[in-house]
A and B are shown apart, each in its own frame.
Chain A
Amino acid sequence: DFVMTQSPLSLPVTPGEPASISCRSSQSLLHRNGYNYVDWYLQKSGQSPQLLIYLGSNRASGVPDRFSGSGSGTDFTLEISRVEAEDVGVYYCMQAGQTPFTFGPGTKLEVK
């Protein structure tokens, strides 16, 4: 199974400042079709998770362009160019290529 790790697990950020979350997989997520099967989800307090980024770097519908994803193989990054108060929550990366789909432990972003 793919084991996903994230760092940091807690991320205090000043509004307007950038933020970056790292995600690492125990095995390569690069498929032979050239796509990296990693998703990023945000779960706000008391809410269901929502899809932010798919295939490593594609923003889901309606996701603001301050969110971006990058990386390939085993190392991925979610970046927020300028954090806003509404970005508070727990961010999860997930291996999306094959079952069992596995999530990282989550990174809790808080605004200072």
Chain B
Amino acid sequence: EVQLVESGGGLVQPGGSLRLSCAASGFTFSSYEMDWVRQAPGKGLEWVSYINSRGSAIYYADSVKGRFTISRDNAKNSLYLQMNSLRAEDTAVYYCARDRSGEVGRFDVWGQGTAVTVSS
């Protein structure tokens, strides 16, 4: 079964850091691009970051550029999001998603999400 499982969310103070992980299974992780998408409470979906299969191409939303870092470890079938200088507006459920380059849809598999709350 193709599956993505996020972890690492929690409560953090403004200015703090958090590292999210996404464990992939059921497919050849190293062959796929991956993304992070977030959803603030009661709000819509917001794309956060993209990484290609080898980690050589990376993009960020302007809202997180310079504060968040996406990375992957293909040997461990894992995707990461290092979040620094967190703000209240970063409070959201963070989803990792498999990226099919748009050819058969952009995000064809999603994880269940991990909740991040930034509050003092």
Q: Which residues of A contact B (CB under 8 A)?
A: 37, 39, 41, 43, 48-51, 53-55, 58, 60, 90, 92, 94, 96-97, 99-106
Partner of A50 from the list B45, B47, B110 (CB cut-off 8 Å) is B110
> Which among A48, A54, A99, A103 is the interface contact of B44 at CB below 8 angstroms?
A103
Of B10-18, B73-81, B99-107, which binds chain A?
Answer: B99-107
**Selected contact of B102 from candidates A55, A103, A106, CB within 8 Å:** A55
Q: Which residues of A lie under 8 Å from residue B105 when comparing CB positions?
A: 39, 51, 53-55, 58, 60, 96
A37-B102 contact in complex given A49-B45, A92-B44, A99-B47, C-beta closer than 8 Å: yes
Assembly CA distance A53 to B50 (angstroms): 21
Please report whether the interface of chain B is mostly helix, strand, loop or mixed according to DSSP: strand
A77 to chain B, nearest CB (A): 17
| Other A-B pairs, 10, CB within 8 Å; known A37-B102, A96-B105 | A48-B95, A48-B112, A49-B95, A55-B103, A58-B105, A60-B105, A60-B108, A96-B102, A100-B47, A102-B47
Q: A103-B46, A105-B44 are in contact. Are A48 and B111 (CB under 8 A)?
A: yes
B62 part of interface (Cβ distance < 8 Å): yes
Residue of A58, A92, A99, A101 contacting most chain B CB atoms (<10 Å): A101
The answer to whether the Cβ of B61 comes within 8 Å of any Cβ in the partner chain is yes
* Residue in A51, A90, A104, A105 whose beta carbon sits within 8 Å of that of B107 in the complex: A51
| CB of A69 to closest CB in B, whole Å | 11
Chain B 42-78: CB-based contact to A (< 8 A → 1; otherwise 0): 0011110010000000010110000000000000000
Q: What is the minimal beta-carbon distance from B69 to any residue of chain A, in angstroms?
A: 16
7 contacts between A and B (CB under 8 A): A39-B105, A51-B105, A53-B105, A92-B44, A99-B59, A101-B106, A103-B44
